[in-house]
Structure 1
Amino acid sequence: MNRFLTARRIGGLFFGLFALLMVGLFIVQRFYVEPEDACVKSGRWWYAEGRTCVQPIYLPDITGRAEGVSRAEASAQQNRELVAIEDRLKREREARAAAILRDRKAYEAKLPEV
């Protein structure tokens, strides 16, 4: 009787399967794991969904606030600036209204009485 799965064939199949799995493991390591590790080691961010390495953008470059200033401090400073601007605009409106009132009285004083 001639058997298909002899000890030599089974050994060859296991060796072939092992070799195929090892090659697959090295391919996964080389093309899937190593790019992420290299990206993280270089200080950049690994974007897993797109499998890309991206450079993080420094937040003060976007917001324009000074380095080391917290968001709360920057917000408080901007609020103080806005209050100062609103106060200046209020004084300008009051000065304009007073000038209009002064000019109106001067104009009414020049009108002849009827």
Structure 2
Amino acid sequence: MNRSLTRLRLIFVALFVLGVVGVGVYQIYWAGPQKECEGRGDWWDPATRICGDVIYIPNITGRQPGESREAASRRAAAEKLSEEARARGE
């Protein structure tokens, strides 16, 4: 009876140690990169597990923050007309 309890105790201790190691590995290799990426303010894609840079849309489009597409088109057309007028010497 005593040997059975000792064996059972060892099995439970081994399962506990494996569980603790498993949780540690999960935190370091699975959950850790996501928290690190989001902590930097980047974008985390869970499907591919890739950390991507956040791209500010006005940097791509050249529009002012909060400016609509129509207003940006008008502004660009006005700037182009003023540049053409300056080039002609008006």
Same fold (TM over 0.5): yes
How many equivalent residue pairs? Answer: 77
Give yes or no for the alignment of 1:75 onto 2:70: yes
SS at match of 1:53: strand
Quick one: which amino acid aligns to residue 60 of structure 1?
Answer: P
Report the Cα offset of residue 77 of structure 1. 4.6
- Taking a change above 3 Å as real, the CA distance of residues 58 and 23 of structure 1, as seen in their structure-2 partners, is same
Quick one: which amino acid aligns to residue 27 of structure 1?
Answer: V
Q: Which residue of 2 aligns with 1:42?
A: 40
Percent of paired sites with the same residue: 32
Give yes or no for the alignment of 1:14 onto 2:16: no
Quick one: which amino acid aligns to residue 8 of structure 1?
Answer: T
Moved over 6 A (4+): none
Where do 5+ consecutive residues of structure 2 fail to align?
82-90
SS at match of 1:6: helix
Where do 5+ consecutive residues of structure 1 fail to align?
86-114
| Bigger Rg, which one | 1
| Partner residue of 1:57 out of 33, 45, 55 | 55
Q: Which residue of 2 aligns with 1:23?
A: 21
Indicate the RMSD between aligned Cα atoms, in angstroms: 2.4
Distance in 1 (alpha carbons) for counterparts of 2:36 and 2:17? 27
Structure with the larger RCO, 1 or 2 (CA within 8 Å, 6+ apart): 2
Q: What TM-score do the two structures reach when normalised by structure 2?
A: 0.73
